[in-house]
Amino acid sequence: MWIHLLRHGIAIDRADPNCPPDPERALTDQGWARTREAMRGFARCRPSIDAVVVSPYVRAQQTADVAVEELGLRKLPRLELGGLKPEGDPDEVLRELGAQGDRDVLLVGHAPNLDRIAARLCGQQALPFALKKAGVAMLRAREFSAGSGNLYAWLTPKLLRAIV
């Protein structure tokens, strides 16, 4: 099955005096625009996706909205998963996904959790790189478990925007 990891787009800076609490941080205008451009590029890759699984945080929900629109996924199931929060447990995420059956998924979440999920699927403690905002990792796995996957692509948002 395919597991696509999408990190949320550019959000309100934590240093901004008007910044809301972390779960409520939203995408900036630049975040919306760059995420849309990146998802148009990702759509050109023709990813196989049967379900969208997203963090409950606002910026991840907004990023998922853009991905759903640009990838034409409106009719697919969408599941909110608390384990996709920034400090979530990768093993919990994999267990919850495994309980839902084998299907190609788009996971929309945060660093460092998505990086740790990719590493776990590849049977590693960590990978030597990290997802950038609106970046995508494409993995193929036999099941939602540690060591069962292989990394096929690590796509930066700059590369995705260039595909358009």
Q: What is the CA radius of gyration of the chain?
A: 15
H helices, E strands: number in the chain: 5, 6
What gap in Å lies between CA 37 and CA 133, rounded to an integer? 12
Residues near 158 by beta carbon (within 8 Å), at least 6 away in sequence: none
pLDDT band at 164 (very low <50, low <70, confident <90, very high): low
Q: What is the pLDDT of residue 15?
A: 94
Residue 54 has a pLDDT of: 98
Cα–Cα distances in angstroms (integers) from residue 3 to residues 30, 33, 100, 156, in the given order? 27, 24, 14, 16
As a whole number of angstroms, the distance between CA 90 and CA 71 comes to 25
With a pLDDT cut of 70, the percent of the chain lying above it is: 99
Percent of residues, the chain, with pLDDT higher than 90: 95
The letter for the amino acid at 116 is: R
Give 35's DSSP letter.
H
DSSP class per residue in 76-114: S-EEE-GGGSTT--HHHHHHHHHHT-S--EEEEE-TTHH
* Bridge partner residues of 155 (DSSP): 136
Mean pLDDT of 37-50: 97
Q: In the structure, what pLDDT confidence band is assigned to residue 108 with cuts at 50, 70 and 90? A: very high
- The mean of the pLDDT values for the chain is 96
CA distance 65 to 80: 12
The full length of the chain comes to: 164
pLDDT digits (tens, 9 = 90+) for 136-161: 999 999 999 999 999 999 999 999 99
- pLDDT number for residue 101: 86
Confidence of residue 63 (pLDDT cuts 50, 70, 90): very high
Query: Domain 2-163 sits in which CATH superfamily?
Result: Phosphoglycerate mutase-like (3.40.50.1240)
Average pLDDT over residues 9-37: 97
pLDDT one-digit tens code per residue, 66-88: 999 999 999 999 999 999 999 99
- Of residues 100 and 86, the one with the higher pLDDT is 86
